[in-house]
Structure 1
Amino acid sequence: MDDQFREAFSNHSLDSQLPASFLNQNRQPTIIAENVFMCVLAITAVALRFYARKASRAGFWWDDWVTLMALPYSLAINIFSAELITVGQGVHLVTILHANPSPYFKQLYFEFVIYAPSLVFFKIAMLLFYVRLFPHHRWLKVSSWVLGVAIGIWLVIVECLIIFACNPIRRTWDRSVPGTCMDRGPIFIAQSIPTVIFDLIILALAVPLVWGVQLPRTSRIALIGIFMMGGLVTVISIVRLTYALKPVSSDFTWNYVDLSLWSDTEAPIGLLSVCLPTYGGLFRKFLERLHITRPVPCEITPASEARGQASQVRQSSRVSTPPMSDVESAAWFKELGDAGDHAGSGRKNTKSGFIVVTKDIKVLNGQESGRGSCCECSGETPTTPKSARRFF
C-alpha cells in the first residue's frame, strides 16, 4: 500500500521476452483452497466447542462468548483474502498492468483493518480460559487481566494508525485524491511484532501451573494439545513476520501471496487452539465407541450429582466462579478427611466456608453401588489439587 506498490503499475512494462510459462503462472487456486479450508476449520472448531459445552451441561462462560465473537473476524480475513484474486492477487503484475490499482488497494486496506481484531479476540479468550481453569490463583488472574488490557490498548493504537494513515482516508486506495500518507512500513511492523510477544507471554503464563498439577490422562493430553496448538500460532506469527520484514517487491501481486497465506491461517488456528480443550468429553465418547478406551471402574462424582453439588456450592459462596463441566466439578468435592478411612469422612473447606462430605464408591458388575465424591481403587485414594480444575 506504499507508493512503491503504485509505482509498479506505471514502471512495470510488459516485456515481450518473458516466457509464456512465467506469464501463465497462477497461485489463485491455492489462495481459494486455503481460505475455504480455514473458514471451514474455524466454523467447525467453534461449533464443536458450543456443542461440547452444551452436551456436558456445564454452562457457558466469558471465554465461550469471546471465542464466538472472534469467529466473524476470522471469517472476514479469509473472505477478503479470497476476494483479492478478483483484482489481481495471485498472478504476476505484468499480466494486469491494464487494470486500475485502486480496487486492489481498497480491498487490501479493509483486510489490514480487520487483521488485528481477528487475533485479539482469541487471545483474550485464551486468557479467560486460564482464569476459568485456575480460579484460585490470584497472580494468574491479575496477570491475565493486565495482559488483556495491554492487548486492548495495542489494538486501539494499531487500528488508529492503520485507519488514519492517510488524510483523507480515501487517499489510502486512490492517490488521485490530494492529501498525505504515513509510511506503512513501521505500522506494519508495529502490527506484527507485538502479536508474537503476546503469544509467547500467553504460553508462558500457564506453564508453571500446568507442570505442577495432577490431572488424569485425558486432561493432560488435552493440555498438551492446546499448548502445541498455541505454539503453532506463535510459529505462524514468526514466519509471517519474516515475510513482512522482506523488502517490497515490484511484483507484489505475486510475492504478497506468501505473506497473505500465513496471515490467513493465524486466526483460524488460534480459534482451534482455544476450542480444543473443550472437546475432551467428545473425544472420550468417541474413543469408547471405538472400544479404544474403557470407562474408568471408579468414577469421580457422577455428573448429575456433581452438577447439583457444584450449584449449591456456588450459591453458598459470594465469590463468582465460572461454570464447570462434568469433570471440572469433581475438583470441588475432593476435600478428604485426615483419617485413613475416607468413607463418609468430611471436613470444612476453610477457604470457601462450606462443609464437604466424601464417601466411597464401590462397583459391582459394572454398576455403582454407592455415590459420593471420591472413590477407593486398590487401596489408593485419587487426589486432585484444589487449583487443578478439569476443563472439558
Structure 2
Amino acid sequence: MFTRCHGGWGGYLFSVIKLLLNPGVFIHLWDVRLKDLPRSLYYLNIASIMYGIVIMLLKTAILLEWARIFVPRGFRDIFWWTCHITIMINVLFYVSFTFIQIFPCVPRQRHWNPTIPGTCLDVAKVNIVAACINFVSDLGILLLPQIVIWSLSVSSSKKLAIGSMFAMGLFACLAAGFRLVNAATYVTSANILYRSSDMGLWCNVEMVCGFTIVCLPATGKLMKESPWIRKIISSF
C-alpha cells in the first residue's frame, strides 16, 4: 500500500512538473494564452485525482500501522475497531471524491475545455465540502493515538515523548486547514490558476506529512540497528 502511495504521489508530481513547465505556478489566468488553458486545466484535474488517491492510501496505511502498534495481534478492542471503521469511512469518501474529480462534466473533456458543449458540477463547491471532511479526518487521526498514549501506565515524560512522535499529524492538520481556506477563496475567485497553485502547495505539504507519519514508527529501529547512522550520531 505504501508503494502505491509513492506511485500516486509520482503522478501528482508529474502533473505539477507539467504545469511548472507551462504555464508555471502562481500564474494569473489573464497571463495564460487561451490555447494553453485547456492543457493547464487538464493537468490540474489529474493532480486533483492523484491527491485523493494518495491521501486515501496514506490514511489507510497510517491507521493500519497504528492498529498494529497499539493493539496486540489477534485482539480486537475499541481502538482497533475505531481505526478500521475510520478506514472504511475514509475509503468511501475519497473514492466518491475521486469519482467526482474524474467525471465532473458530461462530456468529461468539458472540464478542461469550456468551449465544448455540455454540463458540469460546481467542482469548486465540491472542493470546499471535501476540504472540510478532509480536515476533520486529519484531526481525528491526530487525536486517535494520543487518547491511547495518555492512558498508558507510564511516566508523564514518557507519554510526552511518545505523544510528540505521533504529533506529526499536527502539521498535516495545518496543511489541511490552509487548503480549506484556499478552497473557500477559490469559489469566489475568477483567477482559478493562481488559487489552484495555493491549494496545490498545501496538498503537497499534507502528503509529505503523511509519508513522514507512516515512516516515523520505524525511525527508532533504523537508528538503533543501522551502523552508519549510529556512527554519525556518536560523532556528535
Pair in the same fold by TM > 0.5: yes
- Which category describes the TM-score, using the shorter chain as reference length? 0.7 to 0.9
> What runs of 5+ residues in structure 2 fail to find an aligned partner?
none
Q: Give the secondary structure class of the aligned counterpart of 1:174.
A: coil
Q: Give yes or no for contact 2:150–2:159 (8 Å, CA) kept in 1.
A: no
Deviations 1:152-197 (A, max 9, x none): 1112221222222201111111223221111112211122111111
Q: Does 1:259 align with 2:199?
A: yes
Q: Could you say which structure has the higher helix fraction?
A: 2
Q: Does 1:84 align with 2:23?
A: no
Q: Give yes or no for contact 2:106–2:119 (8 Å, CA) kept in 1.
A: yes
Q: Does 1:104 align with 2:49?
A: no
Mark the CA change 1:157 to 1:167 in structure 2 (over 3 Å): closer, same or farther. Answer: same
> What runs of 5+ residues in structure 1 fail to find an aligned partner?
1-65, 294-392
Aligned residue number for residue 60 of structure 2 = 124
Superposed CA RMSD:
2.6
Deviations 1:136-157 (A, max 9, x none): 4611111111111111111222
Please state how far the C-alpha of 1:287 moved relative to its aligned partner: 4.9
2:95 to 153, 156, 159: 156
Q: Give yes or no for contact 2:146–2:163 (8 Å, CA) kept in 1.
A: no
Partners in 1 of 2:179 and 2:49 — Cα distance?
A: 17
Q: How is 1:131-280 mapped onto 2 (pairs within 5 angstroms)?
A: 131-135=67-71, 136=75, 138-213=77-152, 221=161, 223-227=163-167, 229-246=168-185, 247-280=187-220
Q: Give the secondary structure class of the aligned counterpart of 2:126.
A: helix
Q: Give yes or no for contact 2:182–2:195 (8 Å, CA) kept in 1.
A: no
**Between Structure 1 and Structure 2, how many residues are aligned?**
227
Please state how far the C-alpha of 1:129 moved relative to its aligned partner: 1.2
Mark the CA change 1:156 to 1:137 in structure 2 (over 3 Å): closer, same or farther. Answer: same
Deviations 1:231-255 (A, max 9, x none): 1101110011101101443333334
Aligned residue number for residue 315 of structure 1 = none
Amino acid paired to 2:137: F
TM-score, normalised to structure 2, is 0.85
Q: Give the secondary structure class of the aligned counterpart of 2:35.
A: coil
TM-score, normalised to structure 1, is 0.53
Q: Does 1:69 align with 2:22?
A: no
Partners in 1 of 2:44 and 2:173 — Cα distance?
A: 24
Partners in 2 of 1:168 and 1:198 — Cα distance?
A: 32
Moved over 4 A (4+): 214-220
Partners in 2 of 1:116 and 1:255 — Cα distance?
A: 18
Identity rate of aligned residues, in percent? 21
Q: Give yes or no for contact 1:130–1:206 (8 Å, CA) kept in 2.
A: yes
Q: Give the secondary structure class of the aligned counterpart of 1:250.
A: coil
